[in-house]
Structure 1
């Protein structure tokens, strides 16, 4: 079966940046699962998946506009340190969580002061060209429930409790 609308895809990936450094990988764990056509993964990766089948191994380069977008300078702001969740000493470059009315969001510390910090709310991978080494492990038809919920269920997918 080929990947297309209303298929559930399981795949392993290794994500690298433009310099070839490994940023994350699913290997050694369960494959990741997603419902194709439901915006579960970044657009550039989803486009590259079309028409592939189980057993396919390939590498895809994804430009920032098809991944996490360009860096938006207006997304830097100053916040009281008490709104940040972190361990140890707050330092520039750290990934921390910011408490917002919509829940916790990951942010990057640009500058740390005693009472306030300058943070960047852009996705940590914004502005980067990403390279994914993909191995498709399984492709199956999505269930009616998965289509209704907009995501894959089961191993590597969404678990309802």
Structure 2
């Protein structure tokens, strides 16, 4: 069986910043990642690279930002009045918040704080980075009708835990 549309794939992976070599995330020593192929559950570049692969295959691929988390965009940097952070005792650069918006929750990272304004960045933390993935394919199975309808995998056996 090879990886294609509507297959549930289990992979072990490691991802590093292609520029610095810093380890960003790894499934080593933990549970593998399970995803539904063809449902945009993972970044496009990785999904394309896994298409047609089989159990036991290993690959290393570097994915450019446009096929990963996109380029950093200036329009995702916002200035908010400090009153927006009412109830937060001290706001420091690097702090992360989740803001509820009409389009759903977005993550913000504080960049700068003045007496009146807080500059926040809503870019994905990995935006603008090329990422190198090392992947080993652990298992492939057909997705259940429920998984196809929901657009994501429900665990190793297809049951919703």
Structure 2 length normalisation: TM-score?
Answer: 0.86
Partner of 2:150: 149
Aligned to 1:63: 64
Matches within 5 A, 1:8-157: 8-18=8-18, 19-81=20-82, 83=84, 89-155=90-156
CA change 1:139–1:72 in 2 (3 A) is: same
Q: Please report the RMSD computed on the Cα atoms of aligned residues, expressed in angstroms.
A: 2.6
Scaled by the length of structure 1, what TM-score is found?
0.86
SS of aligned partner of 2:149: helix
Deviation at 1:89, TM superposition (A): 4.4
| Structure 2 unpaired stretches of 5+ | none
SS at structure 1 position matched to 2:49: helix
Q: Is the 8 A contact 2:11 2:135 kept in 1?
A: yes
Structure 1 regions of 5+ residues with no counterpart?
Answer: none
Residue by residue over 1:55-98, the C-alpha shift from the partner in whole angstroms, topping out at 9 and shown as x without a partner, is 11211111000011111111111123454599884322333323
Count of matched residue pairs? 160
